[in-house]
Amino acid sequence: MDYLPIFADLKQRPVLVVGGGEVAARKIDLLLRAGAEVRVVAQALSGEVESLHQQSDVLWLSQSYQPEQLDDVFLVIAATDDTELNARVYEDANQRRVLANVVDDQPKCSFIFPSIVDRSPIVVAISSSGQAPVLARMLREKLETLLPASLGKMAEIAGSWRERVKQRFNSMSARRRFWEQAFDGRFASLTAGGQFDEAEQALKQLMDEPDEATHQGMVTLVGAGPGDVGLLTLRGLQVMQQADVVLYDFLVSDEVLDLVRRDAEKICVGKRAGNHLVMQEETNRLLVDLAKQGKKVVRLKGGDPFIFGRGGEELEVVAAAGIPFQVVPGITAAAGATAYAGIPLTHRERAQSVMFITGQIRTDGNGLQWSELARGQQTLAIYMGAMKASDISHHLIAHGRAAETPVAVIGRGTRADQQVLTGTLQNLEQLAQQAPSPALLVIGEVVELHHKLAWFGHHPETAGAQRPTVVNLA
């Protein structure tokens, strides 16, 4: 190893920073987060460093560097544009056996700053020994996506329980098994969901009844987004990577399913219009039975599970069975598909409100306030409406919506083969018949902006993807 990786305790220890510009400010921020007593030597201070000085967070020692300023410091950082001054700081520090870092000059560093993933008190440091800092940064970014923000709180709670666990389990191997079960079980899941009191109860139960506690599972309801795998939330990805079993529906794209943990069991409980392969009652029963087997169950739903996704119904059953649960929201189809189609849901000149409704309406139209839905200057985003497009068009026109109102039918929104078909309300049924499933109906003046704002399929990031089809039946 070129460098020994260590973590230094800088609390209340004096550290000297030579330089007061933007680069120095970044180093000062790290030092203050570690609790260091920061002293600055610089001819002038940047706005950020000046603000810290005014707040007495740092001490502006002087405008000129003197070797004696190193006599009682723990380490020193040289961050000036003067290479000769930086070299002199490094040599003076070496003579005094003070650790030194000259920014962007690796040969003149007796210590270096790694790329950091901060989940305090959990901290991950990545270093290339100064050889490839951009590569180290890219690795850090990957780790940021894999390590949940809750790790720090989990470690904090665990630290408060260490003595109790030591008293409960005499052998080191027993304590290790306890913490392995805790960090891979309900304690971890509850902490990730912000349920800290419940998480501590799970620790207590695991300590008092380890065999019983390991047989308790939980359910996490996850929104998979409208299709594009890039729209899956970071939290959703982390939960999917921890699942023992995943129940998914047809709206979840294959690309999203590919991100599920490889050894997790995957069960399709999908439904399509007129073809419920798995009845809702059976899905509810599976959620409860699998969780009671001690499994971490993920219920993966397209879009957002609380917007026409029956997520609330399923969680009512889970809650009634006394099973702990969490919800990870997703990007709903109306938000994702319209954004990818270049159709803003609201616009100051064209739509002052937006309504999300389901197209699963009765043929007589009863059950919906058509007079409210038919108002102008508002956007209607209609889920599952393709099969009822004729009825929807008829009722809206009958209640005053102009037949020439712009409409769009977005098929397979956000996916590489997305299709955007535009026209007017009077030919909504024809458009819906041409659109691939799943399809979202959008009705309102904002649809006119599609021809100005359409971007998906024409953007460099989507080069090579199948170009979305656009049909105009105006």
271 is catalytic: yes
Amino acid identity at 118: D
SS3 call for 412: coil
Q: Are strands 58-62 and 37-41 parallel, antiparallel or unpaired?
A: parallel
Calculate the alpha carbon distances from 319 to 15, 86, 326, 371 in Å.
54, 63, 11, 38
Query: Which letter does DSSP use for residue 436 in this model?
Result: P
Task: Determine the Cα–Cα distance for residues 474 and 468; give it in Å rounded to an integer.
Answer: 19
Count how many Cα atoms sit within 13 Å of the Cα of residue 323 in the half-sphere of its side chain: 29
Calculate the alpha carbon distances from 408 to 175, 231, 390, 403 in Å.
60, 22, 14, 14
Residue 440, φ and ψ in degrees, nearest 5:
-115, 130
For CA atoms 308, 331, 299, 295, the dihedral sign is negative
Q: Residue 406: name the closest of 395, 418, 393 by CA.
A: 393
One of 108, 249, 295, 296 is an active-site residue; which one? Answer: 249
SS3 call for 336: helix
Task: Determine the Cα–Cα distance for residues 290 and 98; give it in Å rounded to an integer.
Answer: 59
The helix (run of H) or strand (run of E) holding residue 156 is helix 151-168
11 is catalytic: no
Residue 467, φ and ψ in degrees, nearest 5:
-70, 130
Mark residue 22 as left, alpha or beta (left: phi above 0; alpha: psi -120 to 50; beta: remaining). Answer: alpha
One of 271, 292, 391, 417 is an active-site residue; which one? Answer: 271
Task: Determine the Cα–Cα distance for residues 447 and 472; give it in Å rounded to an integer.
Answer: 11
Edge-to-edge order in the sheet of strand 37-41: 58-62, 37-41, 14-18, 75-78, 99-102
Assigned token pair, 158 = 């665990």
Which residues are catalytic, by number?
Answer: 249, 271
